[in-house]
Amino acid sequence: MSDINDVLARIDGNLDASLKRLSEFLAIPSISTDSAFKAECRRAAQWAADELSAIGFEARVADTQGHPMVVAHRKPKGATRHVLFYGHYDVQPPDPLDLWTTPPFEARLQDGPRGKQIVARGSSDDKGQLLTFIEAARAFIETEGELPVAVTVLLEGEEESGSPSLKPFFDANKDELKADLALVCDTGMWDATTPAVTTRLRGLVGEEITVTTAGRDLHSGMYGGPALNPIKVLANLIATLHDTDGRVAVPGFYDGVEELPDAIATQWRGLGFDEKGFLGEAGLSVASGEQNRSVLEKIWARPTCEINGVFGGYTGEGFKTVIPAGASAKISFRLVGKQDPLKIRNAFRTYLTEKLPAGAKIAFHDHGASAALELSADSPALALAARGLQDEWDKEPLLMGSGGSIPIVGAFKRELGMDTLLIGFALDDDRIHSPNEKYELSSFHKGTRSWARILARLAEWR
């Protein structure tokens, strides 16, 4: 087994050179959403492929219908495990430019409240983060001559524009990309001193419903009384979606939802999460939803039903005494655990259809469905990565949830049958997508060291 201390020492000694490489990478304005920067995207891809080649990966820039992918492999003889590392080289546009205190594509090392920060577009999302992995690989190869596990690196250039080329690329390169596990470095730590693995991502079912009662909009003077009002019907239906305890009332909705394991529950309770502060920042005065569950549990581990939009009748300035022909709502469910998106869609549709009063019709429109993703707490790879993080940060990593979804993780599961370890070193105040985006120097440095430790640990995975 390799001596991890040599690798870590190499990382420490290389830090200035690593930062120089990061600065070069950040200087390329690889804005994927703006076609004016198409060549810059390719330049960023080429830069990353060249770096990977330089440390001994078999690397290529692979064309797609949009911006290219970078694919690189290094598969040591005798390695028992193979991981796929994913990151993205594209960045958000820097606008509004005048809010930047330094030019967005000239990385600066500045003093911040927690020490030095690297300020530039993409420093945290995702160039800085993805380089932590590549620099860790570099240190391993330069120190030990080889990686402890087989590694494929996949870098995308369309993450900020919806990843349209991902599925076709997966379809065309399944065998090349398939590994034992995916590693994604696009998430954050719990706080500046507490590492985290995001092990839970909620799923999503989107539905649009339209209630119709009349053949045309009616005048409420002429028809008010006998005419069934579709907004009223819609409101009644929405009102039945939750019970008085804040639980979703659709039959069977909680099938597949498991209670939080005691260990996780204890860990989350121990965080001292400032619920009031979190809600207050959003202008919320109380915690709503299910009774007797913490805010973190509600967001990370409980399913929801939300009304995301509603519209019907006259919605302009002033007033019109109309009874509209119809009214609509956009409704979504966040899913957890083993909830089945399609069963829930069907149960929802049946539930509302049965509650529909005489004289009303309802139409449903499908706005997509994806299941929740959850890495089992028993996963050996998770346990090994967690030990690597604990070694570096001297603190047990938090097994977090994410209330939203991270599409790439679903794609890895669906298209390539791989679980994903979501480990990143971003902080909540990194201002990703905003002016003056930064990445803590400690995130970059200790993040690189963390990946070295994790790679070493993953070699123990049997």
Site for a second copy in 223-242 (CB under 8 A): 223-229, 231-232, 234-236, 238-239, 241-242
| Residue 286 is a binding residue for a second copy (CB under 8 A) | yes
CB of 411 vs a second copy, minimal distance in Å: 17
Q: For residues 13 and 404, which CB has a smaller minimum distance to a second copy in the complex?
A: 404
Q: Which of 43, 75, 108, 367 binds a second copy (CB under 8 A)?
A: 367
Q: By C-alpha distance, which of 183, 179, 178 is closest to 133?
A: 183
Q: How far is CA 285 from the centre of its chain?
A: 27
The CA-based angle 421-427-430, given to 5 degrees, is 125
CB of 297 vs a second copy, minimal distance in Å: 8
Strand-strand pairing, 69-74 and 150-156: antiparallel
Q: Which of 79, 192, 279, 459 binds a second copy (CB under 8 A)?
A: 279
CB of 122 vs a second copy, minimal distance in Å: 22
The CA-based angle 106-110-114, given to 5 degrees, is 140
Q: Pattern of binders to a second copy over 346-365, x per CB under 8 A?
A: -----------xxx------
Q: For residues 131 and 231, which CB has a smaller minimum distance to a second copy in the complex?
A: 231
CB of 345 vs a second copy, minimal distance in Å: 14
Question: Which residues are within 8 A (CB) of 180 and not within 5 positions of it... i.e. 6 or more apart?
Answer: 81, 82, 83, 381, 418, 461
Q: For residues 201 and 386, which CB has a smaller minimum distance to a second copy in the complex?
A: 201
DSSP, collapsed to helix, strand or coil, labels residue 28 as coil
CB of 304 vs a second copy, minimal distance in Å: 4
Alpha-carbon distance of 315 to 319, in angstroms, equals 8
Q: For residues 193 and 321, which CB has a smaller minimum distance to a second copy in the complex?
A: 321
Tokens at 303, concatenated? 């399913």
Buried residues in 385-420 as b, exposed as e (16+ CB within 10 A): bbbbbbbbbeeebbbbbbbebbebbbbbbebbebbb
Q: What is the Rg, in whole angstroms, of the alpha carbon atoms belonging to the chain?
A: 25
Alpha-carbon distance of 9 to 183, in angstroms, equals 24
Q: For residues 321 and 376, which CB has a smaller minimum distance to a second copy in the complex?
A: 321
Total residues binding a second copy (CB under 8 A): 78
Q: 203 to 222, contacts with a second copy by CB under 8 A?
A: 204, 206, 208, 213-216, 218-222
Q: Tell me the H-state helices in 356-423.
A: 380-393, 407-416
Q: For residues 36 and 358, which CB has a smaller minimum distance to a second copy in the complex?
A: 358
Q: For residues 43 and 242, which CB has a smaller minimum distance to a second copy in the complex?
A: 242
- List, in sequence order, every residue forming a beta bridge with 183; answer none if it has no partner: 85, 421
Q: By C-alpha distance, which of 247, 249, 206 is closest to 342?
A: 206
Q: 375 to 404, contacts with a second copy by CB under 8 A?
A: 402-404
Q: Which of 13, 115, 368, 380 binds a second copy (CB under 8 A)?
A: 368
Alpha-carbon distance of 151 to 131, in angstroms, equals 14
Q: Which of 18, 32, 132, 332 binds a second copy (CB under 8 A)?
A: 332
CB of 70 vs a second copy, minimal distance in Å: 28
CB of 158 vs a second copy, minimal distance in Å: 19
Q: Pattern of binders to a second copy over 42-81, x per CB under 8 A?
A: ----------------------------------------
| Residue 282 is a binding residue for a second copy (CB under 8 A) | yes
| Residue 164 is a binding residue for a second copy (CB under 8 A) | no
| Residue 256 is a binding residue for a second copy (CB under 8 A) | no
Q: For residues 405 and 448, which CB has a smaller minimum distance to a second copy in the complex?
A: 405
Instruction: Return phi, psi of residue 366, to 5°.
Output: -80, 120
CB 294 within 8 A of CB 278: no
Positive/negative CA dihedral, 162, 164, 165, 167: positive
Q: Pattern of binders to a second copy over 29-48, x per CB under 8 A?
A: --------------------
| Residue 283 is a binding residue for a second copy (CB under 8 A) | yes
Q: 186 to 205, contacts with a second copy by CB under 8 A?
A: 202, 204
Half-sphere exposure of 329 (CA within 13 A, CB side): 20
CB of 36 vs a second copy, minimal distance in Å: 26
Q: Tell me the H-state helices in 100-205.
A: 127-144, 166-172, 174-177
CB of 272 vs a second copy, minimal distance in Å: 17
DSSP secondary structure letters along 226-245: TSPPHHHHHHHHHHTSB-TT
Q: For residues 192 and 235, which CB has a smaller minimum distance to a second copy in the complex?
A: 235
Q: 292 to 331, contacts with a second copy by CB under 8 A?
A: 295, 298-299, 302, 304, 306-315, 318-325, 327-330
DSSP, collapsed to helix, strand or coil, labels residue 37 as helix
Q: By C-alpha distance, which of 438, 249, 246 is closest to 354?
A: 249
